[in-house]
Amino acid sequence: MTQQHAQHFAEEWISAFNSHDLTAILNHYADDLEFYSPFITGLKFNESGCITSKQELERYFQVGLSAYPDLYFILHTVFVGIDTLVIQYTSVNGRLASEVFQLNEHGKAEKVLCHYAMDISIS
């Protein structure tokens, strides 16, 4: 993983979410994956906080985009690891977020760990 590849992935990922383009968003993910986020339980999508298929991820993102129609992310920093990257950004309602992406050989996220600096309980 190079800084250039990680930066490109992050910028495309942010752009896809900011345009609310579900097809472009999903293009960043592998068909079989592990996706962990406290928003999964916060949005009452499931109780485990984990999604394991792209079809389920699509339904989850549809719920999220409906719950946050003004969703807009601001990219701050991209960190590079071995076949991983971390995107630090401002998420919904001004929440600072970091997501760890483990990419497969095709450059698609196969494991994602989402973290937020503030309570994500949905009221």
Position 68 scores a pLDDT of 92
Position 111 scores a pLDDT of 98
Position 110 scores a pLDDT of 98
Position 123 scores a pLDDT of 42
pLDDT mean for each 10 residues of the chain (123 residues): 95 98 98 94 88 96 93 97 96 93 96 86 51
Position 42 scores a pLDDT of 83
Which residues lie across from 109 on neighbouring strands? 29, 103
Sole residue written with tokens 């601001």: 74
